[in-house]
Amino acid sequence: MDELAPTRDDTPARSSIDLLRAFIAIEIPPSLQEKLHREMESLRARLDRTFVRWVVPENIHLTLKFLGDTPITKLDALKEFLAAELARFQPFEISVGNMGVFPNFSRPRVIWLGVGDKGKLSSLQRHTERAASQIGSAPEKRRFSAHLTLGRVKQDIRSEARHQIRQVVEENSGLELGNIHVDTIHLFQSELKANGAVYRSLYQINLEKK
């Protein structure tokens, strides 16, 4: 009996070119970036970089929805869904300040700045989530907590380092850096490079004054 020929999968492999890593966010204005830069310089001077990996100030955004690897073919549809969902929103103000950590001082993983939310931002995020769901993006399991990530704490740090983080963060718990005028939402592409991530705005949705 003849031997069976080996089977071959003729399905073309998915190319990474067909996907891009994306997220939807609010951009930080240059004036606030300057304040963030000065504040982070002070933090770097007090917290050893061997146990905190700081975010480049120019890369700090207020993320509304992380999409992850997204088919390029779905981007046009996403733009339409976002425009429809956000059409009801007018520009509004949010405040930035109040430093803290996630999840707690016993196990600090993220050092952040809080964002003052009077309800409009949370509503904007829910409608952004709804638009993303229409292209098949999985809903976020965690409750939305508006913040700007300043640095990520390395694991297995010593108790002295945890104490140092707590002291610096608590000293800045009442920090006020100013306001952001929210009138534009961006879809960003995130490209991972050898020296860190590079973000590029693919398109924006403007919140129109009524």
Active-site residues: which are they? 61, 147
> Shortest CA distance to 190 belongs to which of 204, 206, 174, 201?
201
* φ and ψ at residue 165, rounded to 5 degrees: -60, -45
**Cβ partners under 8 Å of residue 45, min gap 6:** none
* Dist. CA 200–CA 96, nearest whole Å: 23
Please give the torsion angle defined by the CA atoms of residues 62, 64, 70 and 75, in that order, rounded to the nearest 10 degrees.
-100
The tokens 């998915």 sit on which residue? 14
> Shortest CA distance to 36 belongs to which of 17, 55, 13, 64?
55
* Dist. CA 65–CA 25, nearest whole Å: 7
To the nearest 10 degrees (0 to 180), the angle between helices 30-46 and 159-171 is 140
